[in-house]
Amino acid sequence: MLENKVAVVTGASRGIGYGIALELASLGANLVVNYNSSAASIQQLVETIQTQYPMVQVHAVQANVADFTQAQTLIDTAMDTFGRIDILINNAGITKDTLLMRMSEADFDAVNDVNLKGTFNCMRHAIKPMMKQKYGRIINLSSVSGIAGNAGQVNYAASKAGVIGMTKSLAREVATRNITVNAIAPGFIETEMTGQLNETVQQAIKAQIPMQRFGQVEDIAKTVAFLSSDVANYITGQVITVDGGMTM
């Protein structure tokens, strides 16, 4: 479904980003997978893709997307390697949760630098080649916290709400160039992060979810694959919640 397409996935060394990269590879997309510090994990991802999908080309690029210049290097590497970028998945993100009365300025800035500015940086550098080729699919990872808010996540919710605003604005700017820009807002997904919650907290969260369970990484990855494909070529500026009905 994505043969001969080139996808850049940020924050691909673990969790949702790792799953997205595997899903896109399974559909035939060539990949540039980004990481900041987890070199061992990204190498494992590269080796897995090369073993399972030998026809797919995959390159790992270390870059802190919060840095404008490093984000440009990431996109330039993809262009130098493949000559085009068809799909950009802005997944890189961090959390530094605490109540506002305890939140430091540094914690607020750090989260917004990666989650919000990092998304801007990558879109800013990728949009020019996409406009030249008159084709592109940009999928930004937001969160239900950016829609409904969440106690202890003022910084994270602000960054993810900002991602939604950028998504809709850029979608309007580039719609006539055959470029779609959408966001996915995951709910609680089974990852290392949710695995650290104790059983009591997990059950309390599941009680708020109509489906009464956490989602799987594959639920997000398959939604990304759909939005990346030409099947979704008339969908732009949208926020798709994948949350078991939590924010309906």
Q: Give catalytic residues, as residue numbers.
A: 156
CA–CA separation, 182 vs 94, rounded Å? 20
CB neighbours of 130 closer than 8 A, spacing ≥ 6? Answer: 85, 86, 88, 136, 138, 174, 177, 179
CA distances from 51 to 5, 30, 44, 241 (A): 19, 14, 10, 33
- Give the 3-state DSSP-derived string for the chain, with helices as H, strands as E and coil as C: CCCCCEEEECCCCCHHHHHHHHHHHHCCCEEEEEECCCHHHHHHHHHHHHHHCCCCCEEEEECCCCCHHHHHHHHHHHHHHHCCCCEEEECCCCCCCCCHHHCCHHHHHHHHHHHHHHHHHHHHHHHHHHHHHCCEEEEEECCCHHHHCCCCCHHHHHHHHHHHHHHHHHHHHHHHHCEEEEEEEECCECCHHHHCCCHHHHHHHHCCCCCCCCECHHHHHHHHHHHHCHHHCCCCCCEEEECCCCCC
